Structures are given as C-alpha cells and as structure tokens.
Amino acid sequence: MRRVVCPGSFDPVTNGHIDIISRASTLFDEVIVAVGVNQSKARLFTADERLSMLAEVCDGYDNVRIDSFDGLLTDFCRDRGARAIVKGLRAVSDFDYELQMAQMNSSLAAVETVFVPTSPEYSFLASSLVKEVATFGGDVSRLVPPLVLKRLTERLSGRGGAGRPGETG
Ligand code: ADP
C-alpha cells in the first residue's frame, strides 16, 4: 500500500490544493490530507472548519481521507505509515524553501518528498491571496469550490463566526 500525506494549512482549501490532491490520488493508493492545527498561527477558519470544508470537497475521492496534525509532520507520517509527502510546486520561488524542508524531513525520518508541478492555471493561487482579494470584494469564484466561496463570503461579511484574515486562531 503506497500511502502519502498532502500537508498544509488549507485556510481555506483552494482549487490549487484540490488539483494536487486529485492528481496524488491517481498516483498513490491512499492520500491523507493533513491539516496543520498549530494553535500559534492566526487563521481565518478554525481547524474544525478547515477539516470539514476539505472533507466535503474531497468526498468524491475514494482513496483520500482528511486528518490533522499538531507536531512534526515526520512524526505524523511515521504514525500513519506514510512513506512520502506530496507537495505542489507553483514557481521557482517555492523551490528553495521546499527543498530545504524536504531535506530536513528526510533527515528526521524515512520520508521522501514528491513534488508535483502545479497546473499552469493555478500557479498564482494561494490561500493567503484568495483571502486578501476576497476581503476587498474581488471575485474569487473561479479559484475556490462553491462551498468555500460561500463560507468565505459569510465569514468576511461577519455572518459566519470568527473574524477577518489574521484575527482568528
Ligand atoms: P502553507 O500554509 O504551508 O503555505 P497551504 O495550505 O497554503 O500551506 O498549501 C499546502 C500545500 O499545498 C503547499 O505546500 C503546496 O504544496 C500546495 N499548494 C498550495 N497552493 C497550490 C497551488 N496553487 N498549486 C499547487 N499546489 C499548491
């Protein structure tokens, strides 16, 4: 069984994330989407909200499951029996950091990192940018799934619970 982990904060999940998750699901037997729930970082959506949006948008993939981690990613991989981490690479600018992280992780545990190049239509896409554009009323409907768009709109208009980008934990 080739099991891999797709880690991230997914605050919120975008079409770029789904592209990588879906392609990983065709390459490996099982994909665990791992949501980092480090309390010290400010998030727009709570861990439970991020997990539930991911669960809904990944519902159609039989070999994808959603989980969370709160410590070292390599410990999580070992505990779940995953031998590899899948990361999307958007641009050369992602590469320096991702290479360093991949080498650090493989020095900590027997875990390889597999890089999947982003599809060109998503190479500019990041959760932080989606939140920024949406905050100022920009149209992000082609960048996130409909249910995320709905929750984002509610949250930013103050109807859906917590606060604006950077205000919640
Ligand atoms: P982080 O908070 O660590 O930046 P994100 O939740 O934004 O994590 O993203 C998690 C991972 O998803 C990234 O490390 C990257 O591998 C992948 N990813 C994010 N956005 C895209 C995209 N537009 N195209 C391809 N991969 C992406």
State the distance from the centre of ligand 1 to the C-alpha of 144, rounded, in angstroms: 13
How far apart (Å, rounded) are the C-alpha atoms in residues 118 and 122? 6
Distance from the CA of 96 to the center of ligand 1, in angstroms? 15
123-to-11, 17, 46, 76 alpha-carbon distances in Å: 17, 11, 26, 28
Architecture of the 3-123 domain: 3-Layer(aba) Sandwich (3.40)
Ligand 1: list residues with CB < 6 Å. 8-10, 16-17, 19-20, 87-88, 90, 118, 122, 125-127
Mean of the per-residue pLDDT values of the chain? 92
- Give CA–CA dist 151/92, Å, rounded: 32
109 labeled binding residue = no
Confidence of residue 167 (pLDDT cuts 50, 70, 90): very low
Q: What percent of the chain has pLDDT over 70?
A: 93
CA distance 98 to 142: 27
* Strand pairing category for 112-117 and 84-89: parallel
Residue located nearest, by CA, to atom 15 of ligand 1: 88
Tokens of 119: 């599809």
Q: How far apart are CA 169 and CA 166, in angstroms?
A: 8
Instruction: Please state the φ and ψ torsions of residue 32, each to the nearest 5 degrees.
Output: -105, 115
Cα-to-centroid distance, 15 and ligand 1 (Å): 10
The neighbouring-strand residues paired with 114 are 86
SS3 36: strand
Best probe residue, ligand 1, of 6, 18, 20, 123 (max atoms within 8 Å of C-beta): 20
Would you place residue 29 in the very low, low, confident or very high pLDDT band (cuts 50, 70, 90)? very high
User: What number is the average pLDDT over the span 74-100?
Assistant: 95
Specify the ligand 1 atom closest to the Cα of 124.
Answer: 23
Q: Give, for ligand 1, the residue of 11, 17, 100, 140 to mutate: max count of ligand atoms closer than 8 Å to Cβ.
A: 17
CB 146 within 8 A of CB 23: no
Expressed in angstroms and rounded, the spacing between residue 87 Cα and the centre of ligand 1 is 7
pTM to 2 decimal places: 0.91
Q: Which residues have CB under 8 Å from 88's CB, separation 6+? A: 16, 17, 19, 20, 115, 116, 117, 118
Which numbered atom of ligand 1 lies nearest the CA of 128?
7
Instruction: Report whether pLDDT(32) > 70.
Output: yes
